[in-house]
Amino acid sequence: MELFIWVGIPVILIFLVAGMYNNLVAARQNCNQGWADIDAALRQRHDLVPNLVETVKGYATHESSTLTAVIAARAGALDANSPDQLEKAEKVLSGALGNLMAVAENYPDLKASANFQTLQGELADIEDKLGASRRAFNAAVATYNTAIQSFPSNIVAGMFNFPERTYFELDRNERSTVSAVPKVGFN
């Protein structure tokens, strides 16, 4: 019995710590995968932006400040080196793209262009994918953060330096746009 106490209990503790460590690693990897999915959707959007700008440029030549802002915002997003920088740059790009779409509303020929409609559809599809990726990433972050804060895995997380992750959140401007109730009217 004494042998079990001196050998068995430490072996059981080692297996418990190893299991908790492996669960934390799996949760961290889910966060990394979620971020990679966001990154893939953002790259698709970045690749689409030059075609969209060129199409608008053909119809709206005197809207150069809007087009320049979109190009600059895309460059800023491509140059981002960290998730925090990328999140900020993407918010700027989203705003610039919103302005570009607002400009397009003033040009009926542009809105009727098959090329523009195709690009606008692709952008909407990418935005949907990006939204789904954000939700999946935030769910993975919630699971991970819960695991590193829950007892007894918080002890293992502290021993092996598992830092808390931040959510990919909308800023106030995006929140108000997203949560705005659409108005429906019949003429």
53-73 pLDDT per residue, tens: 888 888 877 778 888 899 999
176 within some domain = no
Closest CA to 55 of 127, 117, 129, 108: 117
149 within some domain = yes
CA atoms within 13 A of residue 153's CA, in its CB half-sphere: 19
**Domains contained in the chain, number:** 1
112 contacts 2 by C-beta, under 8 angstroms = no
38 contacts 134 by C-beta, under 8 angstroms = yes
Q: What angle do CA 175, 179, 185 make, to 5 degrees?
A: 140
Q: What is the pLDDT of residue 170?
A: 60
Q: What is the pLDDT of residue 26?
A: 97
33 within some domain = yes
Give the length of the chain: 187
* Residue ranges of the chain with per-residue pLDDT less than 50: 172, 174-187
31 within some domain = yes
Give helix then strand counts, H and E, for the chain: 8, 0
91 within some domain = yes
146 within some domain = yes
Instruction: State the residue range of the domain holding 46.
Output: 22-168
The enclosing domain of 92 has a CATH number of: 1.20.1440.20
Helix (H) or strand (E) holding 123, with range, is helix 114-149
